[in-house]
Structure 1
Amino acid sequence: MSARAASSGGALAHLRVLDLSRVLAGPWASQLLADLGAEVIKVERPGVGDDTRSWGPPWMADGEGQPTREAAYFLCTNRNKLSLTVDITRPEGQAIVRQLARDADVLIENFKLGGLAAYGLDYPSLRVLNPQLVYCSITGFGQTGPYAARAGYDFLIQGMGGLMSVTGTPDGEPGAGPQKVGVALTDILTGLYAGNAILAALAHRDRDGLRSGEGQHIDLALLDVQIACLANQTMNYLVSGMAPKRMGNAHPNIVPYQDFPTADGDMILAIGNDGQFARFCTVAGHPEWAMDERFTSNAARVRNRQQLIPLLRQCTVLRSTAEWIAALEEAAVPCGPINDLADVFADPQVQARAMRFDLPHASGGRAPQVANPINLSATPVDYRKAPPALGEDTDAVLRALAYSEARIAALRQAGVV
């Protein structure tokens, strides 16, 4: 059976993706396409594989409950893929990738600028073999500009791109200082932009209903994505000329919209309009606040947040989190708890949406997974395969390319695969 024959009936089941990326941004994009049905062949270094395979602990357990060498990090972004180990520094390895690229719809890579040109695997080289190829390059700083040759990492980009300047405790308060987000958010966002860009390029290529149009090169930079995703904060700066400051959990444009202490912990209050604020004041036993000219409108509350927030904090500590949530939900005031991940996966809403599941793994164990949040009525996401063991599908992919068993054995003996 060919690798393509093993693909699903999902929305993208007609597509083949060659994934030369590793770590997070590129694999996030390719997993998204794989979940939607595309066949994804993940090309990895023999004996080593994607860097994140070794980014543990924690490690997934095998069928006997013993830890494997499959890191949880790798498991988060590599399901529904075939793992092919190829040494692309060797001519024989380059030939394998070129052969796959001839029949691929998409190639995703995140090598440094020009890193694949030395192997004849850059876009200009592969476009000659396959003019329909959509080739997506993900780098820290893009293919142009004075920083193009630099390596880019999420933490670095969160700092350079302004995210850390608006994240963290304000100056003058205990614990003040810039803070990164708790996940590699820039990588994730870049992966999502990559998925959108790839689908746009495919739509352009196939706009006549046939796979006959031209492919194109996609140049995605983590820094560009980070700046674009600062959304209202970048626009606040461009409109006012004043750089936004760190505000902790407070919102620059909405008040009250932050965390508040309760009798037994904390809660989030996310009031988005004046009606919600008036209802909160009634529940809190202070209807006069909604009529105070300092607080009657959101604009007034933003101007007078230093007077309002202490009043609210003195009030919210008088009830438990559960008591507040019950009362405020009944009054249609947006609020909620601050959950850790144990709380998240125990939440009845999360369980009802089936956001956690397991897939059988080649080790004999079961790989825990977080569900794709896309719900399509006609072509639902399909979970066909756990994140693969290193090189798990090498022989199957090479057989589909008409490599004989003897030739595969010789390549393996030579360390090419």
Structure 2
Amino acid sequence: MAASDGPLKGVKVLDLSRILAGPTCTQLLGDLGASVIKVENPASGGDDTRQWGPPYVADAEGNRSDLSAYYMSANRNKKSVAIDIATPEGQAEIKRLASHADILIENFKPGGLAKYGLDYNSLSQDLPGLVYCSISGYGQTGPNSSKPGYDLMAQGYGGVMSLTGDPDGAPMKVGVGISDVMCGMYAAVGILAALRHRDMTGEGQQIDLALVDSQVAWLINEGVNYLTSGNVPQRRGNGHPNIVPYEVYKTADGHVILAVGNDSQFRRFCDFIGHSDLADDPRFATNPARLEHRDALNAILRPALRSHNMDTVISELESRKVPVGPVQTLDQVFDTDQVDAREMQITMQAQPGEVNLIGNPLKLSRTPVTYRRAPPVFGADTDDILGAENPFED
């Protein structure tokens, strides 16, 4: 297969988004073969995340580029064009690019593009087949639609922070911008569904996606636990709300994750720690019983596991087919044979020099993802795109 091939080869994406949710979506589409043009504001120096560092990539002379690690995490396989949409000339250029595009994605405040004539209602009059994805904090409707939205605010408003952290501690955010990332994933799914409909009917449509909505959607079992029982879930640290033992335990020299999903696994685990009697104790013999007596069980398990080193716990439990794994720091993660085998770290040649990036997790047997363009410096493709007869041509 040619390097430019992919399942979305020929699909053209005009990306008016910035920061993380929209760029996550468009990078995924780009990895799958779509041609992506990223529009950046010359008045601000481009995507906000270009300034969200250090670290930055330095050129051969050691000078800092505008490629922050944060920006690079979501902006490969894109061209960068500098266009000021506040000017009539910029608006005309966006409309021209949109006329070549299959998809437009933006994350302005609801109504923010209407004054430029770049909202869905304006563009769809001349471009009825355009798939137009709008990402915002709270969506295009509802009492909060005019409020700005950021990942941390979505995590707070949507409830996941109330579930995260130590039981007696403060609500805690997830360590990365997970609301943004998951919103970008939902956006990609919605776009592909709308593209399928467009290809069958010729009809484009607008996708209205909110950070908060997507965060509420991935409350998953804890959300439905509440809706079913009426009981507000509490923070349990690393403990699972429905399975015991299923959390992080300290060993003599590190931490392991124990994930005992059924009673037979629990019996084999008890055999390892020298407490076979626990599997027949009515307080612990079944998962519902273990859930009810979580604290009493952990009072036995924690000292037992601290008497072994991490490698011993992992090897012994793996041999007994009990789910277990290490808690690794990122230097350990990227040094593993597994990450290497799965190509989850990649190297690309960017304008300032070589950059290391995280690979795409999708492994398609017929149409694999491709890495064709390193994250671009600001406005790198402006001259090639402005006025080009085929601006999306790779």
- Say yes or no: TM over 0.5: yes
Q: Which shows bigger deviation, 13-22 or 56-65?
A: 56-65
Asked if structure 1 preserves the Cα contact closer than 8 Å seen for 2:66 and 2:378, the reply is no
The 3-state SS of whatever aligns with 1:400 is: coil
Identify the residue that residue 286 of structure 2 maps to in structure 1: 297
Q: 2:178 aligns with which of 169, 174, 185?
A: 185
Identify the residue that residue 283 of structure 1 maps to in structure 2: 272
1:125 aligns with 2:122: yes
Length-normalised TM-score, structure 1: 0.91
CA distance in 1, matches of 2:342, 2:61: 30
The unaligned stretches of length 5 or more in structure 2 are none
The 3-state SS of whatever aligns with 1:369 is: strand
Asked if structure 2 preserves the Cα contact closer than 8 Å seen for 1:197 and 1:218, the reply is yes
1:382 aligns with 2:370: yes
1:236 aligns with 2:232: no
Q: 2:73 aligns with which of 53, 61, 76?
A: 76
RMSD: 1.4
Q: 1:36 aligns with which of 32, 39, 45?
A: 32
Shift of 1:147: 0.4
CA distance in 2, matches of 1:402, 1:189: 32
1:157 aligns with 2:150: no
Letter in 2 for 1:62: D
Q: 1:218 aligns with which of 207, 218, 221?
A: 207
Shift of 1:190: 0.1
CA distance in 2, matches of 1:264, 1:64: 43
CA distance in 1, matches of 2:185, 2:40: 22
1:35-54 map, 5 Å: 35-46=31-42, 48-54=45-51
Letter in 2 for 1:329: E
Letter in 2 for 1:179: M
The 3-state SS of whatever aligns with 2:334 is: helix
Asked if structure 2 preserves the Cα contact closer than 8 Å seen for 1:7 and 1:39, the reply is no
Identify the residue that residue 21 of structure 2 maps to in structure 1: 25
1:345 aligns with 2:341: no
Asked if structure 2 preserves the Cα contact closer than 8 Å seen for 1:262 and 1:316, the reply is yes
The 3-state SS of whatever aligns with 2:386 is: helix
Q: 2:8 aligns with which of 6, 12, 26?
A: 12
CA distance in 1, matches of 2:384, 2:56: 27
Identify the residue that residue 408 of structure 1 maps to in structure 2: none
CA distance in 2, matches of 1:138, 1:68: 29
Asked if structure 1 preserves the Cα contact closer than 8 Å seen for 2:255 and 2:327, the reply is yes
1:376-415 map, 5 Å: 376-401=364-389
Deviations 1:41-61 (A, max 9, x none): 000011510000010101112
Relative distance call for 1:65 and 1:355 in structure 2 (3 A) is: farther
The unaligned stretches of length 5 or more in structure 1 are 1-5, 404-417
CA distance in 1, matches of 2:67, 2:132: 29
1:371 aligns with 2:359: yes
The 3-state SS of whatever aligns with 1:206 is: helix
Relative distance call for 1:69 and 1:14 in structure 2 (3 A) is: closer
Asked if structure 2 preserves the Cα contact closer than 8 Å seen for 1:103 and 1:130, the reply is no
Letter in 2 for 1:384: R
Letter in 1 for 2:374: A
Letter in 1 for 2:55: P
Shift of 1:66: 4.4
Identify the residue that residue 411 of structure 1 maps to in structure 2: none
CA distance in 2, matches of 1:221, 1:191: 10
Asked if structure 1 preserves the Cα contact closer than 8 Å seen for 2:66 and 2:377, the reply is no
Letter in 2 for 1:185: I
Asked if structure 1 preserves the Cα contact closer than 8 Å seen for 2:108 and 2:136, the reply is yes
Identify the residue that residue 409 of structure 1 maps to in structure 2: none
Q: 2:240 aligns with which of 251, 254, 257?
A: 251
The 3-state SS of whatever aligns with 1:263 is: coil
CA distance in 2, matches of 1:43, 1:151: 21
Identify the residue that residue 407 of structure 1 maps to in structure 2: none
The 3-state SS of whatever aligns with 1:63 is: coil
CA distance in 1, matches of 2:376, 2:273: 53
Deviations 1:286-309 (A, max 9, x none): 111111111111111001111101
Deviations 1:302-352 (A, max 9, x none): 011111011000100001011100111111111111111001001111111
Deviations 1:21-48 (A, max 9, x none): 0000000000000000000000001151
Letter in 2 for 1:300: A
CA distance in 1, matches of 2:366, 2:345: 22
The 3-state SS of whatever aligns with 1:42 is: strand
The 3-state SS of whatever aligns with 2:375 is: coil
Deviations 1:50-86 (A, max 9, x none): 0000101011122345432321100000000000100
1:148 aligns with 2:176: no
1:200 aligns with 2:193: yes
* Identical residues among aligned pairs (%): 54
Asked if structure 2 preserves the Cα contact closer than 8 Å seen for 1:61 and 1:366, the reply is no
The 3-state SS of whatever aligns with 1:17 is: strand
